[in-house]
Structure 1
Amino acid sequence: MLDDPRPLSGASIVFVMGKLGVGESAARSVLQRMTAKNFIVRHKEGRKTFYTLSDRGRVVLREGQEKMFAGWQPQDWDGRWTFVRIQVPESKRTLRHQMASRLSWAGFGQVDGGPWVAPGEHDVATILGPEQAEISPIVVYGTPQPPTTEAMLVDAFELKDLAEDYAEFGAKWRKVSAESLTPVDALVKRVELHFDWLTLSRTDPQLPAELLPDGWPGTVQGELFRSMDAGLRKQESTAISGFFTGESTEFW
Structure 2
Amino acid sequence: MTVHPQSLFFALAGLHMLDDPRPLSGASIVFVMGKLGVGESAARSVLQRMAAKKFVVRHKEGRKTFYTLSDRGRVILREGQEKMFAGWQPQDWDGRWTFVRIQVPESKRTLRHQMASRLSWAGFAQVDGGPWVAPGQHDVVAILGPEHSEISPIVVYGMPQPPTTDEVLVSSFDLEALAADYEGFGGKWRAVAPASLSPADALVKRVELHFDWLTLTRTDPQLPVVLLPQKWPGAVQGDLFRRLNEGLDEAEKFVLHKLFSGEL
TM-score class normalised by the smaller sequence:
over 0.9
CA shift for structure 1 position 47? 1.2
* Root mean square deviation of aligned Cα: 1.0
Alpha-carbon displacement from aligned partner over 1:29-51 (angstroms, at most 9, x marks no partner): 11111111111111111111100
- The residue that corresponds to 2:174 in the other structure is 158
Greater shift, 162-171 or 59-68, is seen at 59-68
Which residue number in structure 2 is paired with residue 194 of structure 1?
A: 210
Find the counterpart in structure 2 of residue 76 from structure 1: 92
Match of 1:40?
56
Decide whether the 8 Å contact of 1:110 with 1:116 is kept in 2: yes
CA contact (8 A) 1:74 1:120 kept: no
Runs of 4+ in 1 over 4 A off after TM superposition: none
From 133, 140, 143, the equivalent of 1:124 is 140
Counterpart pick for 1:58 among 64, 74, 84: 74
Retained in 1: the 8 A contact 2:33–2:43? Answer: yes
User: Percent of pairs identical after alignment?
Assistant: 79
TM-score, normalised by the number of residues in structure 2:
0.92
- Equivalent residue in structure 2 for 1:145, among 137, 141, 161: 161
Question: What's the CA shift for 1:131?
Answer: 0.9
Q: Match of 1:67?
A: 83
Structure 1 segment 1-252 matched on structure 2, within 5 A: 1-71=17-87, 73-246=89-262, 248=263, 251=264
In structure 1, stretches of 5+ residues that fail to align are none
| Deviation, structure 1 residue 74 | 4.3
Q: CA deviation at 1:93?
A: 1.4
Secondary structure, in 3 states, of the residue corresponding to 2:245? helix
1:68 alignment partner AA: M
**Is 85-94 or 121-130 further displaced after alignment?**
85-94
Q: What's the CA shift string for 1:199-228, capped at 9, x where partnerless? A: 110011000011001110110100000000
Counterpart residue number, 2:10: none
- Amino acid across the alignment from 1:156: S
- Tell whether the 8 Å contact from 1:66 to 1:72 is kept in structure 2 after alignment: no
Q: Which secondary structure state, in structure 2, belongs to the residue aligned with residue 64 of structure 1? A: helix
* Counterparts of 1:127 and 1:236, CA distance in 2: 36
For residues 38 and 113 of structure 1, what CA distance do their matches in structure 2 show?
A: 36
How far does residue 69 in structure 1 lie from its aligned partner after superposition? 1.1
SS of the residue corresponding to residue 175 of structure 1 reads: coil
> Which amino acid in the other structure matches residue 186 of structure 1?
A
Give the Cα–Cα distance (whole angstroms) in 2 for the partners of residues 98 and 11 of structure 1.
Answer: 34
Amino acid at match of 1:93: R
Report how many aligned residue pairs link the two structures. 248
1:146, distance to aligned residue in structure 2 (A): 0.9
Q: Residues 109 and 55 of structure 1: is their aligned pair in 2 closer, same or farther, counting only changes over 3 Å?
A: same
TM-score (norm 1): 0.96
What do the CA deviations read for 1:15-64 (whole angstroms, capped 9, x no partner)?
Answer: 00000000111111111111111111111111111000111111111111
- What 5-or-longer segments of structure 2 have no aligned partner? 1-16
Question: What is the Cα deviation at residue 137 of structure 1?
Answer: 0.7
Distance 1:71 1:97 in 2: 26
Aligned partner of residue 113 in structure 1, secondary structure: coil
Note the alpha carbon deviations across 1:176-220, whole angstroms, 9 max, x for none: 111111111111101110011011100110000110011101101
Q: CA deviation at 1:73?
A: 3.1
Distance 1:103 1:72, change over 3 A: farther
